[in-house]
Amino acid sequence: MTSPDRSAAGTERAERPAELRFEGRLIVLAVTGSIAAYKAVELARALTLSGADVQVLMTHTATSFVGPLTFETLTRRRVMRDPLELLPDSRIGHIVAADTADAILVAPATARWLAAMAHGLADDVITATCLASAAPVVVAPAMDGEMHAHPATVANLAALRAFGYTIVGPDTGALASGATGEGRLAEPSRILGALAGALADRPVRVPGASARPPLDPTIRPTDLAGYRVLVTAGGTAEPIDAVRFIGNRSTGKMGVAVAEAAIARGAEVTLVAGMTSVPLPQGVTLVRAETADRMRAAVLQALPAADVLVMAAAVADFRPAEIHDRKLARDGGLTLELEPTPDILADAARAVRRRWQQGTADDAADPASNGEPVRVRDAGAAPPPVLVGFAAETGSLQRAGDKLARKGVDLLVANDVSEPGSGFGTETNRVTVLAPEAAPEPWPLLPKHEVAHRLLDRVGALLAQRSARWVTGESRGEGVDSRPLGPAEADGNFRAFVGTESRTERRR
Ligand code: CTP
């Protein structure tokens, strides 16, 4: 057994303002049975959004206040509730948590738990973990004011301080009993500040992520509930004559995986499908658009009501300059003149910039409008959509950086389609994710549905950041907007663009 790390910060030092960065760390969030347990959900969310791995421990009473599923959905790890629990690989859960945690945050901490911890009574999973850990421990008590003032609690808190634990709060204010007193759980921002202070400049605990309690791949967050996700999938077919076309090898598998993952996470999904050869999911609004022109029209029509656009389609880059109505005869050969297709993603990004960042659009001048008058969606109603592109490269991903800037997207998923296991029709993909002002992030070879989920993790984080900036007016250059934030509202009046011949169906 290891002993508590007594170099952990004391209360005063730990509460200094600190940058709230927890990337790459494992934070064990321990929740005991107080009515304030629901606030731990906010802490779990903030920690995961800041890049931490989070393992939640709950006492049995805590599970009466908040369902473990809530935390499991946010952290994608099974909640530990019992000191006897084993991990799927038979390691003892709380010992693994104790040994791999960068910090343990007990929030809220009840009077009972403080007493148990002060006396080392390892009969609940949280006390057992703290006893077994060398990680800094931050404790945020919450209880009735009289309980907090009782000499027993005062002595127990003093014992925890003597262990080197950081105590944050409680605050004075309205309590669950209706009385006012010192017992309210400290504000989450203060708790996270104390946690960052306790971690200070410590290196990430070795041996690191591989030794931590594992993620449970069967747990998927429903973080996209209420959001509208627009996905394109498959290739396009650019007609030469009545029967022939220029196409590509795309099957639609990656785009379909993104659509399925988005549905699983609670999103409302519109799937714009080109030429596909995989089964299309149920539960989406399906728009068939088999040429670049139709796909462009379908995307630009659906975009104003979307919170996310994922352009996974392999749009043909060239199309015949002339389309023959009749089947061309074989005799005499054929020379085709090709012209470039419209860049749908770049047009979508341009439309977003015009409508959201500037608030109004000069409709006639907007290339995305085809010169048609377009009613502009109220740019104040919701943040701009998150735009995701894919980049199919062969041999090297060098061009992907330029593509990210050229397309004006938030995320670009680049892959080398010539690599074995990556590209058209495969079950797997090895991708590198690029974002503005960030180092390219190479992901390992993964099943396409796992790539889709990881991508949606990134999208979810961007949506959350965007909502936060939008609510403060930061990204609009405005003051605080008190309107309730929500996913994009449908705008039934948004005009259909010319040339829309796509077929829409609702798949249940
Ligand atoms: N894309 C698009 N419209 C096109 C071509 C591509 O919207 N006419 C989108 C794709 O769906 C993808 C991204 O742009 O999300 C990048 O596609 P890619 O084929 O890799 O790049 P291109 O722009 O076609 O450039 P190049 O062919 O020179 O690599």
Per-residue pLDDT of the chain (508 residues; tens, 9 = 90+): 333 333 333 322 333 333 457 888 999 999 999 999 999 999 998 898 787 899 999 999 999 999 998 899 889 899 999 999 999 999 999 999 999 999 999 999 999 999 999 999 999 999 999 999 999 999 999 999 999 999 999 999 999 999 999 999 999 988 777 778 889 999 999 999 999 999 988 888 877 778 999 988 788 777 888 899 999 999 999 999 999 999 999 999 999 999 999 998 889 999 999 999 999 998 899 999 999 999 999 999 999 999 999 999 999 999 999 999 999 999 988 999 999 999 999 999 999 988 776 544 444 445 544 544 333 444 456 788 999 999 988 877 788 989 999 999 999 999 887 788 777 878 888 999 999 988 899 988 888 988 998 999 899 989 988 876 665 565 544 433 222 223 332 222 222 222 334 566 666 5
Looking from the CA of residue 340, the nearest atom of ligand 1 is: 8
For the chain, which domains are there? Answer: 11-211 (3.40.50.1950), 228-321+336-502 (3.40.50.10300)
Residues in a beta bridge with 56: 29
φ, ψ for residue 35, nearest 5 deg: -60, -25
DSSP single-letter state for residue 305 = G
Whole-number Å distance, alpha carbon 314 to ligand 1 midpoint, is: 7
- At 111 the three-state DSSP class reads helix
Q: Which of 345, 347, 415, 417 to mutate to test the pocket of ligand 1 (most atoms within 8 A of CB)?
A: 345
Nearest Cα neighbor of 101 from 53, 63, 152 is 53
- At 74 the three-state DSSP class reads helix
Whole-number Å distance, alpha carbon 280 to ligand 1 midpoint, is: 22
Q: Is 248 a catalytic residue?
A: yes
- Residue corresponding to tokens 């999208």: 459
The span from the CA of 319 to the CA of 247, in Å, is 9
Whole-number Å distance, alpha carbon 344 to ligand 1 midpoint, is: 8
pLDDT reported for residue 18: 37
State the helix-helix crossing angle for 344-352 and 292-302, rounded to 10 degrees: 20
How would you class 476 by CB atoms within 10 Å of its CB: exposed for 0-12, middle for 13-18, buried for 19 or more?
middle
Question: Token digits for 144?
Answer: 């009735």
The answer to whether the bond into 207 is cis (omega within 30° of 0) is yes
Nearest Cα neighbor of 343 from 406, 416, 388 is 406
| Catalytic entry in 248, 370, 429, 493 | 248
CB 231 within 8 A of CB 259: yes
Amino acid 465 reads: Q
Looking from the CA of residue 314, the nearest atom of ligand 1 is: 11
Looking from the CA of residue 347, the nearest atom of ligand 1 is: 7
Amino acid 293 reads: D
Say what the pTM is.
0.62
- At 407 the three-state DSSP class reads helix
Residues in contact with ligand 1 by the CB-under-6-Å rule are 292, 311, 313, 315, 317, 341, 343-345, 389-392, 403, 407
Instruction: Determine the distance from the C-alpha atom of residue 184 to the mean position of all C-alpha atoms in its chain, rounded to a whole number.
Output: 31
Reduced 3-state DSSP string for 185-252: CCCHHHHHHHHHHHHCCCCCCCCCHHHCCCCCCCCCCCCCCCCEEEEEECECCEECCCCCEECCCCCC
Q: CB-side exposure of 328: number of CA atoms within 13 Å?
A: 15
Nearest Cα neighbor of 386 from 440, 343, 436, 341 is 436
Q: What is the DSSP string of 440-494?
A: -EEPPSEEHHHHHHHHHHHHHHHHHHHHHHHHTTTTTT-----SPP-SPPP-TTS
Indicate the Cα dihedral angle 351, 352, 355, 358, nearest 10°: -110
Question: Token digits for 498?
Answer: 């010319």
Looking from the CA of residue 388, the nearest atom of ligand 1 is: 15
φ, ψ for residue 166, nearest 5 deg: -90, 130
pLDDT reported for residue 180: 83
Query: Beta-carbon neighbour count of residue 272 at 10 Å?
Result: 32
Whole-number Å distance, alpha carbon 317 to ligand 1 midpoint, is: 7
Residue nearest to atom 4 of ligand 1 (CA): 343
Residues in a beta bridge with 429: 446
Query: Beta-carbon neighbour count of residue 323 at 10 Å?
Result: 13
Residue nearest to atom 9 of ligand 1 (CA): 345
Amino acid 58 reads: M
CB 254 within 8 A of CB 232: no
pLDDT reported for residue 505: 65
The span from the CA of 265 to the CA of 282, in Å, is 14
- Residue corresponding to tokens 């949506």: 463
The span from the CA of 391 to the CA of 54, in Å, is 32
CB 297 within 8 A of CB 500: yes
